[in-house]
Amino acid sequence: MTSMLTRAVGAPLPRLEGPAKVSGAARYAAEYPQDRMAYGWIVQSPVARGRLDAVLTDPAEEDVLVVLWHGNAPHLEQTDDPELAVFQSDRIGYRGQPVALVVATSLEAARRAAQVIHLDIAAEEHDVELRADHPDRYTPESVVPDVPAVSGTGDAETALASAAVTVDVTYVTPPLHNNPMEPHATIARWDGQDLILYDSNQHPSGIAETLGTVFGLPAERVHVVTEHVGGGFGSKGSARPNAVLAALGSWVTGRPVQMALPRQAMFSMVGHRAPTVQHIRIGASQDGVLTAIDHQTHTQSSRLFEFVESASVVTRDVYPVPHLRTGHQVVRLDMPTPRWMRAPGEAPGMIALECAMDELAERLGADPLDLRLRNAPRHERVLRAGAERFGWSGRDPRPRRRRSGEWWTGTGMALATYPATAMPSTARVRALADDEYEVAIAATDLGTGARTILAQIAADELDVPVGRIHIRIGDSTLPRASVAGGSSGSASWGWAVTGACRELRSRGGREAVFDTTELVREQKEGQHACGAHFAEVRVSAVTGEIRVSRLFGMYDAGRILNPRTARAQFLGGMIMGMGMALHEESVLDPAQGTWVNHDLAEYHIPTHADVEWIDAAWLDEPETGLNPMGSKGIGEIGIVGSPAAILNAVHHATGVRIRDLPARLDKLL
């Protein structure tokens, strides 16, 4: 039992690693000094498709220890990710693919040698452009995260044909890049047959297993240290080539090797959110009851790996309609592989669905809030609470009516939803002297507050103040944890920590270990966190500049474990959603087969100046039967629907529907 005196869960506890982070003491992957450190620099393919025949190096380059390419690289074992098989073939599958690695005694020497290297490449014609009518498109078996690509109930086609009011629109979302502030980086060192990796990732246990496979080692011979991570947003969920390259370079040179990716390389080597073309049709009765939805997504993947951005999946869960059809088609192009980016599927899918709903409200002459209330009963409480806090009532639905000086103003809203899941994890609790405890689990804290929350959970379970809990995370030698992804970290790891603490208390002794695998298998399916986003924008009548004057999120995400870190998660998601609506876009150069704006000067993310009034609130109610904490994940829901709320507000302000993201000023003029 937990006494009220020691209740830590629900308190706004400051982050445990805060002092280390503000003083520069917190160590990230590339920050572990090593004796005789060598530095890797990658050489990337300048063509999108072809064959690498030879690599010619300049013998005058000093301090170079080795140049590795497929002509001289050691054999690596296959994994389920072909991009980790670096230098195992002469084939080039995308522009930016690593084709050689220079290892030198200094960063400066490695970079210079990589710049002057000559690649003998037989280039071939490439195909890099996504089109909804691409002849090679196909329907995959499954889409992320391994759910059927196609679904259907009733007869959507007939229902749409006979619907009193319909919307039939296509929304296009561009490729987006995660761009965590810390570039993907690894320091690798071999200690006999053991591999030590200081690596920036979201899943130390998984990285150890994957690198073990690549080098033919049991996972326990690979030691992954991931003390602090400078963001990931999905791009660090699995091993990326930097880990393999560092280990390879270290194996060949016998020195510790640091392999930090340059920012530019992150646009091709670590994943991105694939572009989508989404055709959505909604049918409704004259009084605004939805009768049918058809949502079809066209997207792309690479030649190497099938990853399908599941944009239509969210439509299966938001509005219960009698006639529903969803599907995905993908085309494999000579482009880098898309991967997870914050709320894969839900984020782009909710833009099409919730902007189309706004279009339907306009057709019906209905209030957008009322249309949601009528058709999404599950969201009613959060919708009403959010609308009240934002001040939605009395809104004149007519677009392009409000102007103050240079600025048109408008408001918009959209729903938010994200699945609540947990994944198998194991935690260990040890009783130390003086009523103190060590809690150990191979989890990671990407800035989510995981370290702090796990301490709060353990403190309550053991009925001691948080200060008595010593948290150990970020190391693959600790009990196995699931990935910090899919908004599942707190649920998964917190469940294991709760179990271990309860075991220790009930059985006594010095140590308890708890594995949730069996419990997770029986977890309640189909639960979601839900919410609503509200936006107010102003648009310059002179320049078309769009400013978000207010952005508000109201959430129902079960029990909030720490309101301080939760608020940061919600606002951070909403701000990334603002980027998705207004700023972010990787621009394809079809001739070169690459994104031309591959750095932080040209790929625009929200800055301080872009964020004005922003706030989040929540209904703080434990969800029973989901996990012992009663929590639901909150890392992603902020980016789901917030872009649509902003786009709908832009329409309300200007009367212009932008269906091709991002909403730049040139699309308004």
R_g of the chain, CA atoms, integer Å: 26
- Pick one of 5, 33, 59, 521: the residue that binds other proteins (CB under 8 A): 33
Question: What is d(CA 55, CA 42) in angstroms, rounded to the nearest whole number?
Answer: 13
Cβ nearer to other proteins, comparing 305 with 407: 407
Q: Which positions from 55 to 94 touch other proteins by CB under 8 A, shown as an x/- string? A: ----------------------------------------
| Phi, psi (deg, nearest 5) at residue 567 | -60, -40
Question: What is d(CA 6, CA 153) in angstroms, rounded to the nearest whole number?
Answer: 50
Q: In whole angstroms, how close is the CB of 113 to other proteins at the nearest point?
A: 12
Q: 44: how many CB neighbours lie within 10 A of its CB?
A: 20
- Pick one of 61, 81, 83, 182: the residue that binds other proteins (CB under 8 A): 182
132 forms part of the interface with other proteins (CB under 8 A): no
Strand pairing report for 323-333 and 290-302: parallel
Whether residue 636 lies in the annotated active site: yes
Binding piece for other proteins, criterion CB under 8 A, among 106-114, 219-227, 317-325, 660-668: 106-114
Query: What residues have CB less than 8 Å from 115, skipping those under 6 apart?
Result: none
Give me the sheet containing 323-333, strands edge to edge: 151-153, 323-333, 290-302, 276-284, 165-173
- Pick one of 1, 3, 4, 23: the residue that binds other proteins (CB under 8 A): 23
Q: Which positions from 611 to 640 touch other proteins by CB under 8 A, shown as an x/- string? A: xx-x--------------------------
- Pick one of 2, 25, 58, 194: the residue that binds other proteins (CB under 8 A): 25
Q: 309: how many CB neighbours lie within 10 A of its CB?
A: 30
Q: Which residue has the tokens 């020497």?
A: 109
Q: In whole angstroms, how close is the CB of 502 to other proteins at the nearest point?
A: 30
Longest C-alpha distance within the chain, in Å?
78
Q: Are 168 and 186 in contact (CB under 8 A)?
A: no
Cβ nearer to other proteins, comparing 128 with 581: 581
H/E stretch holding 159 reads helix 156-162
564 forms part of the interface with other proteins (CB under 8 A): yes
Strand pairing report for 588-589 and 118-123: unpaired
Cβ nearer to other proteins, comparing 18 with 71: 18
Cβ nearer to other proteins, comparing 177 with 379: 177
Binding piece for other proteins, criterion CB under 8 A, among 47-55, 455-463, 570-578, 647-655: 570-578
Binding piece for other proteins, criterion CB under 8 A, among 94-102, 104-112, 205-213, 305-313: 104-112
Q: In whole angstroms, how close is the CB of 3 to other proteins at the nearest point?
A: 27
H/E stretch holding 554 reads strand 546-556
The distance of Cα 449 from the centroid of its chain, to the nearest Å, equals 16
108 forms part of the interface with other proteins (CB under 8 A): yes
Q: How far is CA 596 from CA 88, 179, 268, 276, in A?
A: 28, 15, 11, 19
3 forms part of the interface with other proteins (CB under 8 A): no
Q: How far apart are the first and last CA of the chain?
A: 63
Q: In whole angstroms, how close is the CB of 571 to other proteins at the nearest point?
A: 6
**Range 438-497, binding other proteins (CB under 8 A):** 446-449
Cβ nearer to other proteins, comparing 84 with 207: 207
The distance of Cα 97 from the centroid of its chain, to the nearest Å, equals 22
DSSP per-residue letters across 441-458: -----SSS-HHHHHHHHH
> Both tokens of residue 320?
């219960």
Cβ nearer to other proteins, comparing 514 with 534: 534
- Pick one of 347, 575, 653, 668: the residue that binds other proteins (CB under 8 A): 575
Cβ nearer to other proteins, comparing 312 with 448: 448
Q: Which positions from 240 to 279 touch other proteins by CB under 8 A, shown as an x/- string? A: --------------------x-xx----------------
Residue 435 φ/ψ region, left for φ over 0, alpha for ψ in the -120 to 50 degree band, beta for the rest: left
Print burial letters for 49-68: b (CB count within 10 Å at least 16), e (below 16).
bbebeebebeeebeebbbbb
Size of the site for other proteins (CB under 8 A): 62
Q: In whole angstroms, how close is the CB of 236 to other proteins at the nearest point?
A: 11
Q: In whole angstroms, how close is the CB of 203 to other proteins at the nearest point?
A: 16
- Pick one of 8, 9, 30, 245: the residue that binds other proteins (CB under 8 A): 30
Cβ nearer to other proteins, comparing 16 with 321: 16
**Range 354-413, binding other proteins (CB under 8 A):** none
Question: What is d(CA 8, CA 635) in angstroms, rounded to the nearest whole number?
Answer: 21
User: Which residue in 182, 309, 354, 636 is the catalytic one?
Assistant: 636
Q: In whole angstroms, how close is the CB of 253 to other proteins at the nearest point?
A: 17
Cβ nearer to other proteins, comparing 344 with 449: 449
Q: Which residues pair with 8 in a beta bridge?
A: none
- Pick one of 56, 123, 181, 432: the residue that binds other proteins (CB under 8 A): 181
DSSP state of 48: S
**Range 183-242, binding other proteins (CB under 8 A):** 183, 228-231, 233
Strand pairing report for 185-191 and 276-284: unpaired
Cβ nearer to other proteins, comparing 112 with 240: 112
Cβ nearer to other proteins, comparing 200 with 337: 200
Q: Are 159 and 85 in contact (CB under 8 A)?
A: no
Q: Which of 531, 576, 535 is nearest to 554 (CA)?
A: 531
Q: Which positions from 587 to 616 touch other proteins by CB under 8 A, shown as an x/- string? A: ------------xxx---xxxxx-xx-x--
Q: In whole angstroms, how close is the CB of 600 to other proteins at the nearest point?
A: 4
DSSP strand E in 108-266: where? Answer: 118-123, 142-143, 147-148, 151-153, 165-173, 185-191, 194-199, 222-225, 257-260
534 forms part of the interface with other proteins (CB under 8 A): no
Query: What residues have CB less than 8 Å from 5, skipping those under 6 apart?
Result: none
Q: In whole angstroms, how close is the CB of 584 to other proteins at the nearest point?
A: 11
DSSP state of 631: B
C-alpha torsion 455→458→462→465, nearest 10: 20
Q: Are 440 and 427 in contact (CB under 8 A)?
A: yes
Residues at the interface with other proteins (CB under 8 A): 14-15, 17-28, 30-31, 33, 37, 106-109, 112, 179-183, 228-231, 233, 260, 262-263, 446-449, 564-565, 567-569, 571-576, 599-601, 605-609, 611-612, 614
Residues with catalytic roles: 636
